[in-house]
A and B are shown apart, each in its own frame.
Chain A
Amino acid sequence: MFNSIDQLVETANSEQESIADVMISQEMEVTGRSYLDVYKDMERNLEVMESAVEEGIAGVTSTTGLTGMDAVKMKKYIESGKGLSGDLTLYAIAHAVSTNEVNAAMGKICATPTAGSAGVVPGVLFAMKEKHDVSREDMIKFLFTSGAFGFVVANNASISGAAGGCQAEVGSASAMAAAALVEMAGGTPAMSAHGFAIALKNMLGLVCDPVAGLVEVPCVKRNAAGASNALTAADMALAGIESRIPADEVVEAMYKIGLTMPSALRETGRGGLAATPTGERLKQEIFGGQ
């Protein structure tokens, strides 16, 4: 099993395989399942992601009313043609928001790598579909590539907001998405690793401070930030820009930052935005005296 990004890139190079295929081979070896079984399972996950994107774009609202209907606003804005960013970024934002609004409304989503950060990877993936007409197979491979990078983060650092803050969730998701974007766009495995490193570096230190402890504020909008950050990092890596700090060392830095983060900023709903006057008021309104 690969346990570092260095190893992952090396294996892809020596086997002359994509990172997606390295991940699939490992999955087959570990579980003893066939290529088709593994592939089909990922296809099912892709279908769940697609349904969630569509559901949110059509409009959902959470039970608390804190989040919802913003994906609809984004869609209308894109259609108006007045967007400042390019369409790819705008779609990534819309789809990321959409997925996380569905999640907040207790709808069905696929965790990537977590539910709170479930909008980032599908956000950029369905934006690519919208703008670049990528094949179904490439979309499924995109998820395996994202998974390979996330696998290293999960085993060497953390993908839990309670353990490592939002950098471990949206940060990891953004870095996974950046790496997969690079591979989808034809970059080398090493370029994927640079894209991953750049994206994660930009998210280091991000705290997990959900208002009322709910996966709503600021989670939904942070997914949009994670998606656009992934596009930024992928474009930089594809331009040949390299991360000065190697990907594995960025993961280690993320882990160590998480360890020193106070518990008030690790998904307890007690610090940061949760502890602002408005955050406290919203909590009071939702839960009353509980």
Chain B
Amino acid sequence: MKYKSVFDIIGPVMVGPSSSHTAGAARIGLLARSLFGGQPDHADIYLYGSFKDTYKGHGTDVALIGGLLGFDTDDDRIITAEEQAREAGLHVQFIKMEEERSHPNTALLHLVKGDERLTVEGISIGGGKIELVSINDYEINVSGNYPTLLIFHKDTFGTIARVTTILGNNEINVSQMNVSRKEKGDIALMTIELDDEISDHIIKEASGAEGVDRVIEMKES
């Protein structure tokens, strides 16, 4: 089931005017920021469907910027996010896309800081609830309801076992897990949703495991 909590329905507390186009957009920005590990210097934001048609009226643009700046859905600073972004040195460009995506409320964020780059695609499914559907072109399905590990790794035997063994040894329970890849033998992406937040030393251990390329931790939103 997509909605698990009563507060998905009665909530969130938010700055208006739209739960999907304002609050959801802020949450997509927030999750993208969390995945990026902080604020980018530049963001190209591609808008699709209803996001593209109505973003001005719904404040989708300022909400996405606000999210990238770390503002939550009920943060008044969303209203003046463009100004705040200038002060914080965040440059944002919006691009309207005609192409149809799987969901009418889709935003694709391409984040840059120095050499670091990350592309995150999020959908806003209603009532402020969102899902991340791709990261760097890898298909994923992350709600942000649980602490999540995104692990880029070599698509060879044994890597998944090594990572889950590390989690097991540290008594971390996996609630959901998914693996996706673009091509056989290339770099693949493990998405692991956990019951609890995990400490930095476990992430370090997983980062050092044979076959693991990069580990990104996404904290509960």
Contacts and interface: CB of A to CB of B under 8 A. Distances in A.
Interface of A: 1, 3, 23-24, 26-27, 30-31, 38, 41-42, 44-45, 48, 102-116, 118, 121, 143-144, 146-148, 150-151, 154-155, 158-163, 168, 176, 210, 212-216, 263, 266-270, 286-287, 290
B161 interface: no
A106 B79 contact: yes
A160 B20 contact: yes
Nearest to A169: B126
B10 A1 contact: no
B14 interface: yes
B16 A269 contact: no
Residue from the set B18, B78, B129 with the largest chain A CB neighbour count within 10 Å: B18
B14 A114 contact: no
Interface in B100-122: 103-105
Contact of A210 (B49, B54, B78, B126): B54
Contact of B58 (A112, A168, A214): A214
Interface stretch (B1-9, B182-190, B208-216): B1-9
5 contacts: A109-B14, A147-B7, A159-B127, A212-B57, A268-B53
A216 B126 CA distance: 18
Given A111-B12, A115-B16, A151-B6, 7 more contacts: A38-B6, A45-B13, A109-B13, A144-B10, A263-B104, A267-B54, A268-B50
A65 B129 CA distance: 29
A180 to B, nearest CB: 10
Interface of B: 1-23, 49-50, 53-54, 56-59, 74, 76, 78-79, 103-105, 124-129
B3 A144 contact: no
Residue from the set A106, A287, A290 with the largest chain B CB neighbour count within 10 Å: A106
A150 B74 CA distance: 22
A116 B17 contact: yes
Contact of A115 (B2, B23, B104): B23
B86 to A, nearest CB: 19
B12 A108 contact: no
A140 to B, nearest CB: 10
Contact of A110 (B11, B58, B124, B129): B11
B53 A45 contact: no
A210 B127 CA distance: 17
Contacts of B16: 102-109, 115, 118, 215
Given A154-B8, A155-B3, A215-B58, A116 B18 contact: yes
Given A31-B5, A102-B16, A115-B16, A110 B10 contact: yes
Contacts of A213: 53-54, 56-58
Contacts of B58: 213-215
